[in-house]
Chain A
Amino acid sequence: MHLISLFRLRVYLALLLVLALSPVPGFAQVERIIYGLSFEPSGFDPHRNASSELGIPLRQVYDTLVYRDPLSGEFVPGLAQSWEISADGLQYTFYLRQGVTFHDGTVFNAAAVAANLDRVTSPDTASQKAIFLLGSFAGYEVIDEYTIRVLLSTPFSALLDSFSQVYLGIASPTALANVSVDRYQFNQVGSGPFEFVEYVPGDRIVIRRFPGYSWGPQFYVSDSSDWISEIEFRFFADASSRAFVLEAGDAQIVGELLPIDARALISEPGITLEQVPIPGQPLQFLMNTTRFPTGSLEVRQALLFGTQREAIVDAVFQRFSPVAWGPISAATMFYSPVVQGSYGYDIDQSRALLEQAGFVDADANGYYDAEGGNLTVKVIVPPWGLIPQVAQLMQDQWRSIGIRAELESVPTRAAVFEAVSTGDYNLVAWYEFGADPVFLGNYFASTGTLNWTGYADSMLDSLLSQAASTNDFTLRAALYAQIQQIIMAQALVLPIRDYVNVVGQDSSIGNLTFDYFGWFPLLPNAAFVVD
């Protein structure tokens, strides 16, 4: 907890320092800025679609019942002024803020929240993410005009975290009723600091500052004369084009710069880089415990010892990301520093473990022998997140520990599922983001739907389910610490780097900060830097 806030605080202080020291060239101030997104999400309906990219514009359009403080991660009031959780963890009572209106003039109240819950859970909405954020949702009770109680069938400790996410942003019930589910993405109405203007598929999404906004969370700056009044979001799917776009002034803010471009832009006058740690899983390779040779603990540990993560972080990520040590990144809630530094690069240790496991190199070709030739691991390599580059370096590094890596590159997410479903793999690169590590249950519980390590241990199962159902903060911290320790002791994952989003921005824009989830900028706070 303290570590997280300290880490974040440091990052922000460093950024402030950079901002303060960087010279402000005489950029002409534009009222409307262009924000480059990394791709066009498959849809822009927060209740229906799942992409994190959609939240970048829509976080500004919607308020949520609660917010997480961007530095500490603590829950702070949003549209709910306060809340109570029943002792059994099955009832969440939200006391709503009064005097809030949606951008279309509709009054916000308990009925509005109810309408949103109805929409998210309706089969017609076919929600791809929001509905699953509600966990064991079993209904709600409207207690009075400004009180609503959400009911669960089993305790679900991540519910408040869910209600702080843009996917459960509260939309105007009038707007929801006026258009069909499919058309809503073109006619969105929230109660946030910006109002939705238009969405043109393939081209842009535009938002405009909402003048009467006064009910934001405590960390929203309440007033500034240099506010950005309009923001147009455009899509730059080709990663290498993003730096060009920024330099040419075609966009004022661009996310997910390629590390080598970011390295080159660091000295560019008029451009400032933000390094935003994203909580969730680090870039990691899940190791299959049910297949030779990663079925053996020694081999998994040998792979960990034999991977020089610092070199990968240097070469591929240009030192913009910290080395990852465990199954969740350091910016994540309940990250345990216990795993830090485990399995540091050590070829001798790695070879010793392999020899201990009985491998020999009888033909002296540099690789240990296995049935049918060399000791080989098969790695599934999806194309995103610079995983291919990481895999190439790992393949080269593993030569020195006598293990041959066979890289199978797959073109799509679906192809990863297909490859995994055959069971014919030793390592597979996969990660997801989230502030609350409740997602670990999907990966490491024996019945988890994404249990690609094949590891099954009743002790780990019970720790995971306990951690996902208690609301006792200290207890959760202790449980997740233990979970992280077990995962690393069993060497179930090979973590590479904590995810850091390198955002480039025109230096004429100041105070660009991000929320606790990392992906989403707090654009109401951003303002033009005044000379």
Chain B
Amino acid sequence: MIWVSVTISFFALRVVPYDAITAQLMEVGVSSEVIEVRRSALGLDLPLVLQYLHYLGGLVQGDLGVSLLNGLPVAELIVFNVYPTLELALSSLLIGCVLGVPLGMWGIAKRWDGVVGDRRLNVWLPYALPLRNFVIALILSVPGYWLGTILIWVFALELDWLPASGAGGLERLLLPAIVLGIGVAGGVATMSVVLVGDVLRQEYVRVAYGKGLSARSVTSKHVLRMILPGVVAHLNTQAVFLLGGTVITESVFSRSGLGRLLLDAAVRQDFPVVQGVVVWSSCMVLLANVVTTVMQTILDPRIRS
């Protein structure tokens, strides 16, 4: 899998006519002969296939190559930048679940209570679901970068509660994690709605209600447990988009991280670094698959037994 994405990105990136070192030296006004000497020192004059084999050879030993501009190993650059990105991704995942699952389950319990005959709730019933659907649609529709600038404006500039930018510390993490987390929550909520619908059709839930258990306890005990594996599976499919979301969120909040590394390297045409970030995200997505399988085994009694 990783080999395929490495191969495609390797050749795609080298279609570009100028590499980082050429662009840098042209800027200083250096003659093309000198540039050629420098390129060959970096092995950039070799046939592409040969460069590719070198790269693969390094890759199996965990070597992602070196930056064309500062000579640092790409793996090291990734290690330097990985923490703020992981921190952002994981905390937004958490926020996404904490917001998304209850949102998806919102209104379900009330429907049952309504059937049972609580008048007060019957008044609310016609509005609960449409309102929930609208909230879900809204958070799925707001562009994260716009929400980000609004939050910066309100919380950092007008209210002066939280810092506007940078990485490090909980207070700098909060706003970007909320922005990204809200995006995650939209998907989680949509998925939960579907899953809850399936669960409620199951016989034993009706039985539980029939036994006179309160709607709240049915919801938390049975429904929540039944939908969790599905939610986890959904998060797995979203892992790749979450990683993409960190690129934009990091930019909006001027956070350091792999998104910044990728953007800087792409603009400077420092291909080994771009390639390294691509390999990293592929690895993370595959890792997410593994984690998901493990979690589902734990969460889903049917698989466990």
For B80, the chain A residues whose CB sits under 8 A away are 200-203
B30 within 8 A of partner (CB): yes
Asked if A236 contacts B17 (CB within 8 A), the reply is no
Stretch from B55-63, B113-121, B264-272, B279-287 contacting the other chain: B264-272
Taken together as a complex, chains A and B put the C-alpha atoms of A44 and B256 apart, in Å, by: 17
A43 within 8 A of partner (CB): yes
Count of inter-chain pairs, beta carbons less than 8 A: 131
Asked if A129 contacts B81 (CB within 8 A), the reply is no
Interface positions of A from 118 to 175, Cβ below 8 Å from B? 123, 126, 128-129, 132
A442 within 8 A of partner (CB): yes
A181 within 8 A of partner (CB): yes
Stretch from A210-218, A238-246, A278-286 contacting the other chain: A238-246
Report which of B70, B81, B269 forms a contact with A412, defined as CB distance below 8 A: B269
Interface positions of B from 270 to 304, Cβ below 8 Å from A? 270
Asked if A185 contacts B70 (CB within 8 A), the reply is yes
Stretch from A413-421, A458-466, A515-523 contacting the other chain: A413-421
Asked if B18 contacts A418 (CB within 8 A), the reply is yes
Report which of B81, B168, B254 forms a contact with A237, defined as CB distance below 8 A: B254
B142 within 8 A of partner (CB): no
What 0/1 readout, one digit per residue, does chain A (474-489) give for beta carbons within 8 Å of chain B? Answer: 0000000000000000
A39 within 8 A of partner (CB): yes
Asked if A244 contacts B71 (CB within 8 A), the reply is no
Asked if B163 contacts A417 (CB within 8 A), the reply is no
Taken together as a complex, chains A and B put the C-alpha atoms of A40 and B160 apart, in Å, by: 27
Asked if A203 contacts B72 (CB within 8 A), the reply is no
Smallest CB–CB gap between B82 and chain A, Å? Answer: 9
Instruction: Select from chain B the residue with minimum beta-carbon distance to A441.
Output: B29
For A182, the chain B residues whose CB sits under 8 A away are 66, 70-72
What 0/1 readout, one digit per residue, does chain A (436-460) give for beta carbons within 8 Å of chain B? Answer: 0001001000001110000000000
For B32, the chain A residues whose CB sits under 8 A away are 449
Taken together as a complex, chains A and B put the C-alpha atoms of A234 and B84 apart, in Å, by: 15
Taken together as a complex, chains A and B put the C-alpha atoms of A123 and B39 apart, in Å, by: 12
Taken together as a complex, chains A and B put the C-alpha atoms of A244 and B20 apart, in Å, by: 32
Taken together as a complex, chains A and B put the C-alpha atoms of A417 and B77 apart, in Å, by: 27
Taken together as a complex, chains A and B put the C-alpha atoms of A234 and B172 apart, in Å, by: 15
What 0/1 readout, one digit per residue, does chain B (1-35) give for beta carbons within 8 Å of chain A? Answer: 00000000000000011111111111111111000
Report which of A42, A247, A450 forms a contact with B67, defined as CB distance below 8 A: A42
B170 within 8 A of partner (CB): no
Interface positions of A from 224 to 261, Cβ below 8 Å from B? 234-238, 241, 244-245, 247-248, 250
Smallest CB–CB gap between A25 and chain B, Å? Answer: 16
From B26, B28, B80, B84, residue with most partner A Cβ within 10 Å:
B28
B197 within 8 A of partner (CB): no
A348 within 8 A of partner (CB): no
A45 within 8 A of partner (CB): yes
Asked if B30 contacts A449 (CB within 8 A), the reply is yes
Smallest CB–CB gap between A27 and chain B, Å? Answer: 16
Report which of B18, B28, B251, B264 forms a contact with A414, defined as CB distance below 8 A: B18
Taken together as a complex, chains A and B put the C-alpha atoms of A104 and B166 apart, in Å, by: 33
Smallest CB–CB gap between A520 and chain B, Å? Answer: 18
A-B contact pairs, 19 of them (CB 8 A): A42-B69, A43-B67, A43-B70, A43-B71, A50-B27, A126-B42, A185-B72, A202-B81, A236-B165, A238-B165, A238-B252, A244-B156, A245-B254, A250-B165, A417-B22, A417-B23, A439-B29, A449-B26, A450-B26
Residues of A within 8 A of B (CB): 39-40, 42-45, 48-50, 123, 126, 128-129, 132, 181-182, 185, 200-203, 234-238, 241, 244-245, 247-248, 250, 411-414, 417-418, 432, 439, 442, 448-450
Residues of B within 8 A of A (CB): 16-32, 38, 41-42, 66-67, 69-72, 76-77, 80-81, 84, 152, 156-157, 160, 163-168, 251-254, 256-257, 260-261, 264, 267-270
